[in-house]
Chain A
C-alpha cells in the first residue's frame, strides 16, 4: 500500500516507503484483475454447513473447558493434577504454548513487512488474526491457574485503601504488563490493516445492517490519497512498534522461569531460546491453519507454493535455532560442573521424563530437518503433518521445562511425579475451543487475505477491457487509486 502514495509522484526516493515489491517468488499468475480479487476473496465469506459444524464443535469444547474451570473454582485447585512440589502444571505449559503461537503472526505481519518480504502478503492477515486470538487465549491461563482467581486484580497496580502495590520484582507482574501490551498492540495492528478491506466489504455489502457496521468499522474510508498516505505511515509505525514486542514479550515470559533458581530454569539462554521457540511454534500453527484454509476457500492461486516454500524456510531456520538452544542447555549443564544441574538434565532425557524429552527433541529438532528438501517444502500434505508434529513438540517443550524441573529439585526428599487429571485436559481442550471459535468467526466475517495488499502485487495489465461492471467494480476497481497506481508501481520496479 505504500505504493498507494505514488500518485503524488514523490515516493520512490523514500526508502521507507519503497513499494511492496512483487518479486519472482510471489507472482500470482492465476490472478488476473482486481475484480477477481474482490470476488474470490469476498466470496470466501459466505457461511457453509461445514463452517457451522466446525464452529459448533469449537463452542462445545469451550463449554467443556468453562464447566471444568467453574468446578475447579468451587472445589479448589486440588481437582487438577498438581503433585507438590510440582506446583505448576498443564495451565502454565499451555499459557506459554499459546503466547508462543502468537509470535509468528507479529513476526510475519510486522517484521517481514519491514524487510519487504513479499511472500508474507497473502498469509499475514491469517497469521495476525491467529496472534490476537492466541494471546487472548494465553491471557486466560495466568488467572485460571490461581488459587484464588477472584483476587487476580491484585497483580494490577491501582490506588487502593491498603496502600499496597504489586511486587514489581516479580516476573509474574512483568507478565501482566507484557501480555496486556502485546494484546493491545497486535489487535490494533490487525484492525488498522483491515480498514481498507473493510471499506471494500462495506461497498460490496447489500444487507443494510452489516453495511452500517462495516461503515463504522472502516471509519468512513474513502480511498483518498491523503488517507492512503496516513494509512501507510500508520501501518509502518505500528509495524515498527510491534517488532520489538516479538522479542520482549516472550523474553518476559521466559523470565518466569529464568529468574528463579530451579535447576533447568535458572539459565541466561532462556530469552533467545524462548523467542526462537515461539516463532517456530507460531509458524507451525500458521501452516496448520493456512494449508486447509487455502484448500477449502479455493485460494491456492493466492497462497502459492512459493509462499509456503518461503515460510517453510523460516520454519527450518527457527527449528535449527531451537535445536541449538537445546544442545546448548545440555552443554551448559555439563560445563557448569553443578551436580544438581547435571543430575536434573540427566533425569530430563534418561530419567522419569525421558519420553517427554524425546517427543520434544524429535518433533522440534529432527523432523523439521526434512525441510531441507525443496520437494517436501512444496508438499502441502507433508507441511501440514509436520506442522501438527511441531505443535505437539512445542507443547511438550514447555512440559519438559516445567514438570521435570519441579519434580526433581534440590531436595531429594521432595522428588515426586505428576499426572494431569480430567480437569486439566478439559481446560486444555477448552482453550483450543476458545481459540478456534474466535478464528472461525473471524474468517467468515473478514477477509483472511489482505485484498488491498494482494492488489499491489498482481500484474498491472488487467486495467483494460473491464469497462462495465457492477457497483463493486466501480469501487473495488475503477474508483481505487491503486488502478492508477499500478503502472507507476511496476514502472518503478523495472
Chain B
C-alpha cells in the first residue's frame, strides 16, 4: 500500500515537471490579446452591414507575404463624406489632416523567425477566419487562435501542406 503511494508521488513529480516545461515551451502565445485601438474600427459594420470584402482594405493579402493595412487615404476615400460627423471618424480625419499615420496596435504577430506568406495561404483557399478568427463579428478585434507552432503544424498536416522546418523558418 505504502509502496503505491510512494510510486504515485513520483509520478506526480514527473507529470508536474512535464507540464511546467510544456507550458513554458508554449507560453509565448499572446492568445486573447485585445488591445484598445487608437480608433475604434468596427469590422462588423464594414464586413457584415456593408458587405465589404477583406481584400478591399487588406488589399495585398492575395498578392504579397504582407496583408497590408489600408492607407489613411483609403479610409478617407469614403469617410470624407460617409459618417463624417461621428466622433471616431473625426479622429480619423484628424490623422489624415495632420499627415500622421494611425498607430494601430498590433494584435496578430508571429516571431521574426517565422515566415508566413499570406499570398500562398489565401491562394490555397485558407480563409482569413482560419487564423484571425471571426473578425467580422468582433466589435473589437482580439487574437482568437494561439498561433503557436503546434497549431500551425496540425493545420499543415490536415491540409497536406509541407511541414518541413525550413518551409517557415529561415
A and B in contact, CB less than 8 Å: yes
List residues of A whose CB falls within 8 A of some B CB.
153, 156, 158-163
Check if A159 sits within 8 Å of B150, measured CB to CB.
no
Q: Is the interface of A mostly helix, strand, loop or mixed?
A: loop
Check if A162 sits within 8 Å of B21, measured CB to CB.
no
Closest chain A CB from B30 CB (angstroms): 14
A-B pairs with beta carbons under 8 Å apart, 28 shown: A153-B21, A153-B24, A156-B21, A158-B17, A158-B18, A158-B21, A158-B22, A158-B25, A159-B18, A159-B22, A160-B21, A160-B22, A160-B25, A160-B26, A160-B150, A161-B25, A161-B26, A161-B148, A161-B149, A161-B150, A162-B25, A162-B26, A162-B148, A162-B149, A162-B150, A162-B153, A163-B150, A163-B153
In the docked arrangement, what's the CA distance between A297 and B15, Å? 46
Collect the chain B residues with CB atoms within 8 Å of residue A161's CB: 22, 25-26, 148-151
Q: Is the interface of B mostly helix, strand, loop or mixed?
A: helix
What sequence of 0s and 1s flags, for each residue 132-170 of chain B, a beta carbon within 8 Å of any chain A beta carbon?
Answer: 000000000000000011110100000000000000000
In the docked arrangement, what's the CA distance between A156 and B21, Å? 10
Collect the chain B residues with CB atoms within 8 Å of residue A156's CB: 21
The number of chain B residues with a CB under 8 A from chain A is: 12
In the docked arrangement, what's the CA distance between A282 and B47, Å? 75
Q: Give the residue among B24, B25, B148, B150 with the most A Cβ atoms within 10 A.
A: B25
In the docked arrangement, what's the CA distance between A161 and B18, Å? 12
Closest chain A CB from B126 CB (angstroms): 21
Residues of chain B in range 4-50 having any CB-CB distance to chain A below 8 Å? 17-18, 21-22, 24-26
Collect the chain B residues with CB atoms within 8 Å of residue A153's CB: 21, 24
In the docked arrangement, what's the CA distance between A163 and B149, Å? 9
Closest chain A CB from B146 CB (angstroms): 8
Which residue of the partner chain A has the closest CB to B29? A161
Closest chain B CB from A33 CB (angstroms): 39
- Give me 10 other A-B pairs in contact (C-beta within 8 A), A153-B21, A158-B18 excluded: A158-B22, A160-B25, A160-B150, A161-B22, A161-B25, A161-B150, A162-B25, A162-B149, A162-B150, A162-B153
Collect the chain B residues with CB atoms within 8 Å of residue A163's CB: 150, 153
Collect the chain A residues with CB atoms within 8 Å of residue B24's CB: 153
Closest chain A CB from B25 CB (angstroms): 4
Residues of chain B in range 44-96 having any CB-CB distance to chain A below 8 Å? none
What sequence of 0s and 1s flags, for each residue 99-111 of chain B, a beta carbon within 8 Å of any chain A beta carbon?
Answer: 0000000000000
Closest chain A CB from B165 CB (angstroms): 9
Closest chain B CB from A240 CB (angstroms): 22
In the docked arrangement, what's the CA distance between A159 and B148, Å? 15
Collect the chain A residues with CB atoms within 8 Å of residue B18's CB: 158-159
